[in-house]
A and B are shown apart, each in its own frame.
Chain A
């Protein structure tokens, strides 16, 4: 381990002790004992953390107390907050990336393991569906990709995108937004898009080799910062709840929920995911217009089937099964959980 890595480990350890102590002071003596460092060395680590934007109180005879953390998503901020068993245990943090999905896909192809996470402060070429861009200003929001290696036949892999939507909508609700899901996995607040999920699969004929789950969430972008063409259709969690979101905490909460839903999906199949999705969906019961590369379809969204496909009933009564497309909801349904 080189010196830089060793220093980072010490910083992580000191931080995790401070996080654990919460409002209490952690004594310098205890810290130095647990880390096997001199008290001067502990002080140096604290100074280095301060240099990185951490506010740490130091009171003689009492010790150190963490006051605030910088709003960053590096392992230093995120790792102490994680309670997952796999997800995010290995973090690849790069400040600026073309696209987290692209790097994650490459890492996975080179053998990266289940649960490894790529995240960044800014994507310069964030990916959307069918060649579209996902735009997000630096340091405001969340862009991450999770590498999954599920024991699944490829034909069941699309279910994972609904698993992710459920976990994401629940995390947003926990954080104070009345999130709903627009089929298949756009997450909205008050009918405006707050998050998108784009998943990429690498498969052999009979099994999934890996899945890259790309998640983009508008957390702290304010309406005023949005480009005009997006202001009508997009929003952020901060805008909805009127206060900025601690991004590292949100990320940790999201990974925890995602992992628990992935576990449930692995143990119980798609059934419970489908039920949760239906509860959170704003699409079902709506008149919809589905646009694909080739055609348009109008009708009433009546259900999703056992594999997550959208069932749309046309006016003439025929039922269409939609596997891909952009869904426009023609009449917004009232959120039953809001107001």
Chain B
């Protein structure tokens, strides 16, 4: 759910809105479809296989292979898994209610729990104690899932929703990046 919301917020961000301003459409996505189509067409007639564009928090990455271009559009940078979108952009503007059928990465239900800072990930309160949660466990909202530590600053990360732990994405003791996904929690 969170991912869909972010994707919508992304395409409505003000930096992209300037591009859309010259051709306003009712309830349009601000990431101008015409501009995108032009870029894609331009790339198709060129030798370019990889096109990356960034402005502020927004990033556009187009990779072309034999099967045609794929477009990844993500924001804010590095905070969430990139959201792949189908191209060309013929579908109407995505809204939370009628988002286009999302690709693999967003197809999984539930919420990703991410790391608040660069640090070390611990699944247990101490090396000789059991893990806070195991794969498949049911968790309550506010239940502690793990600890991330940097410089003896401890952050007990809690689940923001009740649900089931369907993925444990990092091994105990491993270094994690800011925004890296740690768990997936699915509503039951």
Chain A residues in the interface with B (C-beta under 8 A): 129-132, 154-162, 184-185, 197-203, 205, 211, 292-295, 307-309, 323-325
Q: Knowing that A199-B152, A292-B120, A323-B149 are A-B contacts, what are 16 other residue pairs whose CB atoms are under 8 Å apart, sorted by A's residue number?
A: A129-B149, A131-B128, A132-B126, A154-B155, A156-B117, A158-B150, A158-B153, A198-B152, A199-B154, A201-B116, A201-B154, A202-B155, A292-B173, A293-B173, A309-B118, A324-B119
Q: Note all chain B residues with C-beta closer than 8 A to A154.
A: 116-117, 155
Q: Note all chain A residues with C-beta closer than 8 A to B173.
A: 292-295
The minimal Cβ–Cβ distance linking B144 to chain A, given in whole angstroms, is 11
Q: Quick check: A324 and B151 within 8 Å, CB to CB?
A: yes
Q: Quick check: A200 and B151 within 8 Å, CB to CB?
A: no
Q: Within 8 Å of chain A (Cβ to Cβ): is B125?
A: yes
The minimal Cβ–Cβ distance linking B101 to chain A, given in whole angstroms, is 27
Q: Quick check: A203 and B116 within 8 Å, CB to CB?
A: yes
The 7 A-B residue pairs with the shortest CB-CB distance, nearest first, are A131-B126, A294-B173, A154-B116, A324-B120, A184-B151, A293-B173, A158-B150
The minimal Cβ–Cβ distance linking B171 to chain A, given in whole angstroms, is 8
Q: Note all chain B residues with C-beta closer than 8 A to A130.
A: 122, 125-127
Total number of residue pairs linking A and B with CB closer than 8 Å: 93
Q: Within 8 Å of chain A (Cβ to Cβ): is B132?
A: no
The minimal Cβ–Cβ distance linking A308 to chain B, given in whole angstroms, is 5
Q: Within 8 Å of chain A (Cβ to Cβ): is B129?
A: yes
Q: Note all chain B residues with C-beta closer than 8 A to A199.
A: 152-154
Q: Note all chain B residues with C-beta closer than 8 A to A200.
A: 153-156
| Complex Cα spacing A161 to B175, Å | 19
8 contacts between A and B (CB under 8 A): A131-B127, A154-B117, A159-B151, A202-B155, A203-B116, A205-B116, A293-B173, A309-B150
